[in-house]
Structure formats: C-alpha cells, structure tokens
Amino acid sequence: MSSTDLTALETELAAGIAAAGTLDDLDRVRVAALGKKGRIPELMQTLGKMAPDERKNFGQAVNTVKARITDAIEARKAVLEEAALEARLATERADITLPVRPGPESEGRIHPVSQVMDELAEIFADMGFSVAEGPDIETDDYNFTKLNIPPEHPSRQDHDTFYFSPNEKGERMVLRTHTSPVQIRTMLNQKPPIRIIAPGRVYRCDSDQTHTPMFHQIEALVIDETTHMGHLKWTLEEMCKAFFEVDEVKMRFRSSYFPFTEPSAEIDIAADAIGKPGKWLEIGGCGMVHPKVLENCGIDPTRYQGYAFGMGIDRMAMLKYGLTDLRAFFNADMRWLKHYGFSLLDVPTLAGGLSS
C-alpha cells in the first residue's frame, strides 16, 4: 500500500467517524477501523512481508494514522455522550413548580400520633439520643420482674395487663403495659454510656373517654457515671419547649412511686402555654433508675447511674393539636383523619419548624 492509499484510508475512516450519529454507530466504525480484523490491524499484518527499511517507514506512518483515528473516535464519543445526556435530561425534565399530582401522595394523611412520634424523635435526635425498639408481645420478666416488679407485687394490679395463656413451662407472655421493658432490653445489650428513646404501642385493659386499650408511650433512658435528676429536669424542659414551640414551659415534678425508679416523680406541665391558664396537666412519669434494675441487667450500680422517663404520646398529641376525644384517634374515621392528619410532605424538622 502506498502512502497515498494510507491518506485515502485515513480520510475515509475520519469521514465515517464524523458521520456516526449515535454511540452505537461510532462503535461500529471503531470496530471496523481498529478492531481485531479492522482496517488498521490488517495493514499492520502486511508489514511482515516488507523490506526492513520500507517496514520501518510504513509502520511509523500507520501508527501515526492509528493514533489520530483513536483520538478522533474519543473526541467524537465525548460529543455524542454529551448529546445523549442532554437528550435524556430534556425528556426527564421535571417541572418542580407543578402542584403535587392528585393521588395517594396528596390524599393520604399522617396520623397525629405518627406525626408527634416523628417530632419527638427529631427533638431527641438533636440532643444525641438514638431510637431503640422492643416487641409489643413481651415476657413477664422484662415487662415486670427485671423492672423490680416481682410476681405478687401490688403495682402489677395497676397495670390491667393483657396476659397470654401460659406455655408448657408455665410462663406467660403479656402485651407490654409500658415501654419500660425497652430499658431492660437496651441495658442487657449495650454497655453504658446509654442514651436512647423508645416510642411505641402499649396495652392496658381499660377503656373510657380518656383511656383506650392500646395507646402510645415514649420512653427515655440515660445511663452513665454522672447523670443526675437535674439533667432529667433540663432534658424534659427542653423537650417540652421544642415540642410545644414556646419559649418557656412551667413544669412541676410531683413526688411519686415507681418500683423501677428511686426517687420517682410525676411530670406536670402548666397548661397556660396551650390556652388553659391555671391548670396542670400530667404528661408522664420519671425518676433515677433503681439500683436493683441496673443490677438485674448486669450494670454495676456503684459505678453507673442515670434517669428514665415515660410519657404518653397520645396525651402530647391531644395537648399540642387540641384534640379532645382520645377514642377518635383509633376509630379510623377518614373525615377525622383528613381534618387532623398531616400531609405526607410535612416532615417535621427543628430547622423548618416542627409543625409548619
């Protein structure tokens, strides 16, 4: 092959590259030019039959052409890829100014209880708590005994427990009567320092205007070497301020009794902030974790201490959003849910305002 032929070949290949309108076309051109049986490798094979001098010159010429063709293909490829991306972006363009399409996303509502759970999780996450969970069907041991409520303890009566039938070993499972067994599960599985919240369903055999057999609590547990009652009160105060979105909340701690905390207190908040001046509202129980409970979970009570509290989530939702009848929460009445529920897009954040 002469050098004129080589020039003609290059012109031909370059024209093919320029004409390739898609990445697939270009790939076909590349295989035809540079592939194993392509035009350039074909030329290379003819080198063997040439005289040494001629081989050297022609070889160099072919290599130069090969390099230019390779570059041309790369350049064309970049252009075609860019065009393909532009075309794809043009078809996938989303008009973000359009309203949400009618359908499940705009029809559906987040239940106030779920919304409040998300709000509380957001507040506690900001304070460095993580979320722990436990099952609704709990052992008698975790729901009571390890929480320093032995069998025959009078406070078991207060709980109106739903019991399952005993198994062959005589053990009964229960529907958990509070979220406190999550304290036990956490301490058995985790070494201090511990800082968790545990929202969830709880069950008590009780039903009237302010009680339903299933309701919701949020538990908190903090264990380390120095946490004391002052931290507990501060945390609760900060939580209430953030939750009710007010600058000040008056709180009252009424001395109380729980077998799993010592000392124990009930938490009241002044209802002024929510439009009921002069009234106190009870939102939950709290205290310093009882040394026996720490011991039951293999934590040394001479070294570690901390607090726990449990609050009624439904109560908190009623207070914040002015809902009066607890039973309506669980009637699955679509009109109620449409009115009191939250949009799927209203995700609570501290920065954006919890209930914007």
Q: How big is the chain by its Cα radius of gyration, in Å?
A: 36
Query: Binding residues for ligand PHE, how many (CB under 6 A)?
Result: 11
User: Which of positions 242-261 make contact with ligand PHE (CB under 6 A)?
Assistant: 258, 261
Decide if residue 290 touches ligand PHE (CB under 6 A).
Answer: no
Residue number, 115 or 180, with CB nearest to ligand PHE:
180
Decide if residue 285 touches ligand PHE (CB under 6 A).
Answer: yes
> How far is 348 from 62, CA to CA, in rounded Å?
67
Residue 299 near residue 305 (C-beta atoms within 8 A): no
SS3 content of the chain, % helix, strand, coil (to 5): 45, 20, 35
Judged by CB under 6 A, which of 123, 222, 223, 286 binds ligand PHE? 286
Residue number, 39 or 204, with CB nearest to ligand PHE:
204
Residue 108: partners with Cβ closer than 8 Å, 6 or more residues away = 344
Token pair listed for 98: 């359009």
**356, exposed or middle or buried, with CB in 10 Å at 0-12, 13-18, 19+?**
exposed
> How far is 59 from 46, CA to CA, in rounded Å?
10
> Applying CB under 6 A, which part among 36-44, 74-82, 125-133, 303-311 lies near ligand PHE?
303-311
Range list of H helices, 154-213: 155-158, 181-189
Q: Could you tell me the smallest distance in angstroms from the CB atom of residue 257 to ligand PHE?
A: 10
Q: Could you tell me the smallest distance in angstroms from the CB atom of residue 311 to ligand PHE?
A: 8
User: Which of positions 304-333 make contact with ligand PHE (CB under 6 A)?
Assistant: 308-310
Residue 348: partners with Cβ closer than 8 Å, 6 or more residues away = 115, 118, 119, 122, 354, 355
Q: Could you tell me the smallest distance in angstroms from the CB atom of residue 213 to ligand PHE?
A: 15
Q: Which amino acid is it at 152?
A: E
Tell which residue, 225, 230, 239, has the closest CA to residue 194: 225
Binding mask 163-182 for ligand PHE (x = CB under 6 A): ---------------x-x--
Residue number, 178 or 320, with CB nearest to ligand PHE:
178
Decide if residue 204 touches ligand PHE (CB under 6 A).
Answer: no
Q: Could you tell me the smallest distance in angstroms from the CB atom of residue 356 to ligand PHE?
A: 31
Q: Which residue is nearest to ligand PHE (CB)?
A: 310
Residue number, 112 or 310, with CB nearest to ligand PHE:
310
Q: Which residues bind ligand PHE (CB under 6 A)?
A: 178, 180, 258, 261, 264, 285-287, 308-310
